[in-house]
Amino acid sequence: MAIDSVTEGDVSTRAIALGADPGAKKRGPKNWRPLLLLIPAFVIVSLFFLAPLADVFVRSVTDPQPGLQNYQWLFSTPGNLNVVMRTFGTAILVTFVCLLLAYPYAYLMTIVSDRTRNMMQLFIMMPLWTSILVRTLAWMVLLQDTGPINSILAAWFDIGPIPLIRTTFGVALGMSQVLLPFMVLPLYSSMAKIDKRLLPAASNLGANPVTAFFTVYLPLSKPGIFSGGVTVFILGLGFYIIPALLGSSKEIMISAMIQQQISVFLMWGQGTALGIFLLACTILILVVVSRFNKSGSLFPGVDR
């Protein structure tokens, strides 16, 4: 057969590519047999991902009795609204910190040599290789009242121990460190596509560097800001380990509250209603953003 004439969309040659017997080819272009390969993954994801989520939803409207009382409780208790506001506030804060830190870093990656860029990328990836738990443990050591940061503050500036751990500051610091790579990578990939001649062109036309940046460069890097921002924000909303270990038990976030309702108070209905609320927020943000940002992927290489 003439291999050169094979095209990508030609389904019948794909059947041959699969090593299907010639008889299968005659059955027509609809070769469905490779679909069988999807079955194991489909079954596992359905049984151990979709079913558990459905279970969460069902519990939220049936426990302790059928009805919407859990959601009523969720929206009418002032303490809950505080937790929600705190969670969103922290996620927004972390997203901004990451954007401010990642933007110059990603920009630098576009103007350095290939070797330096590879190094810079490696440095961004390396923290992802260490578990969040280990990194949180390290922050616990550093931030505690008798830790090195407070010792230095006491020795050099003569200021008594400043509470760093069990504060929003500690949580935001730890979360930003963990989430920064998820901001740098999409930013870099969108900046790498920007034509480097545009900025000199803008300054030739009389724009000062600041104007050139805000009117030319920043708008062109928007897809990266969007997808990095969304990733960091939705991952930030669901964080559990870092707030649990670096935060204060009095200022908990949604994740910790879910855990508390279910494991401590055995209030399955209320805990699962909070879970569905968190999930709904995540999905809503993704849907809204994918409307605005057609080019951005819904699944940037996320690693929880």
Partner 1 sequence: MTSKRLLGIFAVLIVIWLIVPTLVIIPMSFNEAPSFNFPPKGFSTRWYENFFTDPNWMKSLFASLQVAVLTMIVATTVGVLASLGLSKVKFRGKGLMEGYFLLPLIVPGIVLAVGLYSLFLRLDLLGTLPGFVLAHTIVSMPLVITNVMASLQGLDPRLEQASASLGGGRVRTFFSITLPLIAPGVTAGALFAFVTSFDEVILSLFIQSPSLQTLPVKIFNSVTQTNDPTVAAVAVITMFTSVIVMLVAQFATRKRKRPVA
The residue within the footprint of partner 1, chosen from 90, 177, 221, 270 (CB under 8 A), is 177
Binding positions for partner 1, 44-63, rule CB under 8 A: 44-45, 48-49, 51-56, 59
Residue 199 makes contact with partner 1 by CB under 8 A: no
Residue 192 makes contact with partner 1 by CB under 8 A: no
Q: How far apart are CA 272 and CA 262, in angstroms?
A: 8
The residue within the footprint of partner 1, chosen from 232, 245, 246, 252 (CB under 8 A), is 245
Residue 276 makes contact with partner 1 by CB under 8 A: yes
Residue 126 makes contact with partner 1 by CB under 8 A: yes
Binding positions for partner 1, 24-43, rule CB under 8 A: 31-32, 34-38, 40-42
Placement of tokens 């027509």 in the chain: 28
Sign of CA dihedral 294, 299, 302, 304: positive
Other Cβ atoms less than 10 A from the Cβ of 170: the count is 24
Residue 217 makes contact with partner 1 by CB under 8 A: no
The residue within the footprint of partner 1, chosen from 72, 77, 82, 131 (CB under 8 A), is 131
| Shortest distance (Å) from residue 106 CB to partner 1 | 10
Residue 237 to residues 12, 232, 268: CA-CA distances in angstroms? 47, 9, 21
Measured from the CB atom, is 205 or 302 closer to partner 1? 302
The residue within the footprint of partner 1, chosen from 94, 132, 175, 202 (CB under 8 A), is 132
Q: Which residues contact 55 (CB under 8 A, 6 or more apart)?
A: none
User: CB of 11 within 8 A of CB of 30?
Assistant: yes
| Shortest distance (Å) from residue 168 CB to partner 1 | 18
Measured from the CB atom, is 183 or 225 closer to partner 1? 183
User: CB of 239 within 8 A of CB of 230?
Assistant: no
| Shortest distance (Å) from residue 214 CB to partner 1 | 16
DSSP string, 53-99: HHHHHHHHHHSSSSSSHHHHHHHH-HHHHHHHHHHHHHHHHHHHHHH
| Shortest distance (Å) from residue 76 CB to partner 1 | 22
- Maximum Cα–Cα distance across the chain: 85
Measured from the CB atom, is 84 or 234 closer to partner 1? 234
Question: What's the token pair of residue 104?
Answer: 């110059």
The residue within the footprint of partner 1, chosen from 237, 246, 252, 289 (CB under 8 A), is 237
Distance of CA 164 to the CA centre of its chain: 25
Q: How far apart are CA 236 and CA 233, in angstroms?
A: 5
The residue within the footprint of partner 1, chosen from 94, 275, 289, 296 (CB under 8 A), is 275
The residue within the footprint of partner 1, chosen from 12, 13, 203, 290 (CB under 8 A), is 13
Q: How far apart are CA 149 and CA 140, in angstroms?
A: 11
Binding positions for partner 1, 134-173, rule CB under 8 A: 134-135, 137-142, 144, 146-148
| Shortest distance (Å) from residue 241 CB to partner 1 | 6
> Looking at 12-20, 65-73, 74-82, 193-201, which segment touches partner 1 (CB under 8 A)?
12-20
Q: How far apart are CA 107 and CA 146, in angstroms?
A: 38
Measured from the CB atom, is 38 or 159 closer to partner 1? 38
Binding positions for partner 1, 76-105, rule CB under 8 A: 101, 104-105
DSSP string, 204-242: HTT--HHHHIIIIIHHHTHHHHHHHHHHHHHHHHT--HH
